Structure formats: structure tokens, C-alpha cells
């Protein structure tokens, strides 16, 4: 024996139109499409437990599990699941399925906001650099001469990385200390080289 399973799809807004929608039983073992008014029907469905899915790209409908018994093919038992894993609830046949929600594939474009400029890292870096250029002269006015000199050296190193690298290498090798501690010694002329020696008289 076989039976027919029928029902209707509805939208929350009665004035809205529903496009032709594909409906399947058991992951595609049976397939049908809705009519312009939302009605659908499956013919020659055998006894057993069948799972009805609405394959809509625009709206979300409940999933329905249908049980057809051989001795009661005219009165199928239908259980509705709003979403997989949701609590089940019985529903009558013919089925009346209303869309629970609409799918949103596009995000609404946000309007222009002056605060969105400050989310840009480049703008933040420019503002920080401008603030430092404005505050640096005032900060240097209150510094000691030694601190000013150190600050100027650091700024020179930042502008010319090669100077910073050479200074670091000198600090590691100690070449700067050796240059400072090196004092050339005066060589005295020797007698062999033709120099004259003067004896002091006592």
C-alpha cells in the first residue's frame, strides 16, 4: 500500500509571495515542488518513517518526521522539529508549515562615521607622530644640556640607521675605548740612527 503526503508552505506576511520551492523526503528519495499558492504533494509514498525537508534558499522551515503505518496509511503521524535537536511537537496532516526566519546573505552597508577614521592604524600613527613633533620642542626646553645632547643623538640615529649600527658595533667590540686610550709615543733618536746624545754636566 502507498499513501499521499501533502501540505502547504506559508510566509509570516500573507501579502508576500513564495517562489517555487523544492521539498524532499529522505534526503531526495522523493522530490516535489510547491505550486504558486504554496501547496505540495507526494504521491505513492510507501509505509515507514520519512523525513521531510524544505530546500529553501530564502526562508527557514521546520523539519518534519512522518510515520506511515500499513494499517493506518490514511492518517500519518507527523512530528515537527523547528531545527535539528529542537524539542519535538506533533502536528496534523495535511501539513501547514510557516517560515520561522529569512536568510540574510548580505550585510547592510554602514553609513559614514567620523569615528571610523580613528579605527585606521595609519591615521593613528600620523596623529601620534604629529603630536610628538609638537610636544618634543616643549619637552626639550625643560631638559638638562646632557639630556638634550642624548636626545639629539637618538634622533640622529633614528634618521640614519647606519650610524646606530656602527655605534652598536663599536660598543660591542670596544673599538671606541681603544681609540680613546691610544696615545702616540714620541720616539727618541738613537745613536745608531745618527742621533746625538748630550751628556749633562754635573
pLDDT at residue 68 is higher than 50? yes
Higher-confidence position of 92 and 139: 92
Categorize the per-residue pLDDT at 91 as very low, low, confident or very high, splitting at 50, 70 and 90: very high
Residue 29: count of CB within 10 angstroms of its CB: 11
**Predicted pLDDT of residue 193:** 47
pLDDT for res 179: 46
CB 63 within 8 A of CB 52: yes
Asked whether 89 and 79 are in contact (CB, 8 A), the reply is: yes
Q: What is the pLDDT of residue 108?
A: 74
Q: What is the pLDDT of residues 2-53, one digit of tens each?
A: 999 999 999 988 888 889 999 999 999 999 999 999 999 999 999 999 999 9
pLDDT confidence band for 178 (50 / 70 / 90): very low
Mean of pLDDT over the chain: 79
Least-confidence region, from 64-68, 69-73, 120-124, 133-137: 133-137
Given a cut of 90, whether residue 113 has pLDDT beyond it is no
Q: In which band, very low, low, confident or very high, does the pLDDT at 180 lie, cut at 50, 70 and 90?
A: very low
Closest to 2 in 3D by CA, of 42, 44, 48:
44
pLDDT of residue 157: 65
Residues above pLDDT 90, as percent of the chain: 35
pLDDT the model gives residue 78: 95
- The DSSP code for 99 is -
Contacts of 159 (CB under 8 A, 6+ apart): none
Instruction: Quote the strand ranges of the chain, DSSP E.
Output: 3-10, 22-25, 30-33, 39-45, 48-55, 59-60, 63-69, 72-81, 89-91, 95-98, 101-102
Q: Which residues pair with 175 in a beta bridge?
A: none
Average pLDDT over residues 176-184: 46
Check: CB of residue 32 under 8 Å from CB of residue 55: no
Amino acid at each position: 500500500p502507498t499513501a499521499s503526503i501533502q501540505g502547504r508552505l506559508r510566509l509570516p506576511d500573507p501579502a508576500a509571495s513564495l517562489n517555487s520551492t523544492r521539498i524532499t523526503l529522505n534526503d531526495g528519495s522523493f522530490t516535489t515542488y510547491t505550486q504558486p499558492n504554496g501547496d505540495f504533494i507526494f504521491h505513492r509514498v510507501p509505509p515507514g518513517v520519512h523525513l521531510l525537508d524544505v530546500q529553501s534558499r530564502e526562508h527557514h522551515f521546520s523539519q518534519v518526521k512522518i510515520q506511515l503505518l500499513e494499517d493506518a496509511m490514511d492518517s500519518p503521524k507527523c512530528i515537527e522539529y523547528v531545527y535539528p535537536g529542537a524539542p519535538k511537537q506533533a502536528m496534523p496532516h495535511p501539513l501547514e508549515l510557516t517560515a520561522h526566519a529569512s536568510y540574510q546573505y548580505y550585510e547592510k552597508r554602514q553609513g559614514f562615521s567620523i569615528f571610523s577614521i580613528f579605527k585606521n592604524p595609519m591615521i593613528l600613527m600620523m596623529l601620534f607622530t604629529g603630536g610628538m613633533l609638537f610636544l618634543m620642542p616643549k619637552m626639550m626646553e625643560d631638559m638638562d644640556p646632557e639630556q638634550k645632547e642624548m636626545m639629539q643623538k637618538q634622533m640622529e640615529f633614528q634618521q640614519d640607521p647606519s650610524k646606530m649600527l656602527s655605534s652598536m658595533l663599536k660598543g660591542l667590540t670596544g673599538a671606541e675605548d681603544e681609540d680613546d686610550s691610544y696615545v702616540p709615543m714620541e720616539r727618541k733618536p738613537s745613536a745608531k740612527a745618527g742621533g746625538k746624545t748630550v751628556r749633562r754636566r754635573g
